Structure 1
Amino acid sequence: MSHNFLQLNADKTEVIVFGKKEDRRRITTALETKGLKAKDTVKNLGVFIDSELTFTVTNSHMKAITKSSFYHLKNVAKLRGLMSKQDLEKLVHAFISSRVDYCNGLFTGLPKKTIKQLQLIQNAAARVLTRTKRSDHITPVLRSLHWLPVSYRINFKGVLPSCFH
């Protein structure tokens, strides 16, 4: 890289090692002798990936989606009285649905417990749009908006030909 006058920005460069735990430890030790520190979790294209390639409930990626989505949903809810329902729905799709759907192919095969967090985000967005109470059943609301539940969205996206992704 140096012969092309390029260099790594140490503040922005992250290293992650995948593989068996004992292999990761050995490689991490070798990297440290070169001055590189391997991390257990890194962010790439907005997706948090851990060294074991698992997406558990405590996963950084799920936490980031949840935090960001509820932040934007709170702001969209403040605009409810100022905009038409169609415009609010556009905002919800732009700021909330896009986050729930982004790279959701990675969630294929995850336990329902993990995907439930994403479903709660979608349910909250539907309630904001339709002014539905938390005590009301959400399935008819999702149907009225023509929204598939999150688990179905993940599976639907997984069966589409690659040219549609």
Structure 2
Amino acid sequence: MTENKLKLNSEKTEALLVGTRQKIASLTVTDLQLDDATVQFSPAVKSLGVFLDSTLSMQTHISFIIKTCFFHLRRIASIRRYLTHDACVKLVVSLIFSRLDYCNSLLLASPPHPFMAYNESRTLLPGWR
């Protein structure tokens, strides 16, 4: 890395072991030595806004999306009576649908849990299909 004038920040760097649960459980490796730095293995890492876990099941990412979307849905629902229909639609599209759409191709093989937030958002928007 020093040849390319790069320096590893071991405090911010995370490593991810990828494999089946059985394979990962059988390993005794806890960290990775790179030059003078020690990098710890994490159960999940965030890259470009997507959480990847060690089994690539996307469960960490799905849980994060659901939690975030329902948080914003509760906030919108609490002020719904003060909003026009158009303002409510804009809030739902910008706060909920944008999160569901971001990297949604990674969720094709996953269970339909993230789309519960989409279904719930329809209750805030009468006439929305």
TM class by shorter-chain length? Answer: 0.7 to 0.9
Q: What residue in structure 1 maps to residue 120 of structure 2?
A: 124
Structure 1 vs Structure 2 CA RMSD:
2.6
Give CA deviations for 1:88-141 in whole Å, capped at 9, x if unaligned: 10110100111112111011123xxx21x22221121110222xxxxxxxxxxx
Q: What residue in structure 1 maps to residue 68 of structure 2?
A: 68
Give how far 1:61 is off. 1.0
Matched-pair identity in %? 34
Give how far 1:18 is off. 2.6
| Contact persistence 2:51–2:60 (CA under 8 A) | yes
- Partner of residue 49 from structure 2, selected from 46, 55, 58: 46
Distance of 2:30 and 2:116 partners within structure 1:
41
1:25 aligns with 2:21: no
Distance 1:83 1:30, change over 3 A: closer
Aligned length: 124
Gaps (5+ residues) in structure 2? none
Gaps (5+ residues) in structure 1? 131-143, 147-165
Distance of 1:18 and 1:68 partners within structure 2:
26
TM-score normalised by length of structure 2:
0.78
Higher helix share: 1
Q: What residue in structure 2 maps to residue 11 of structure 1?
A: 11
Local SS of the residue matching 2:72:
helix
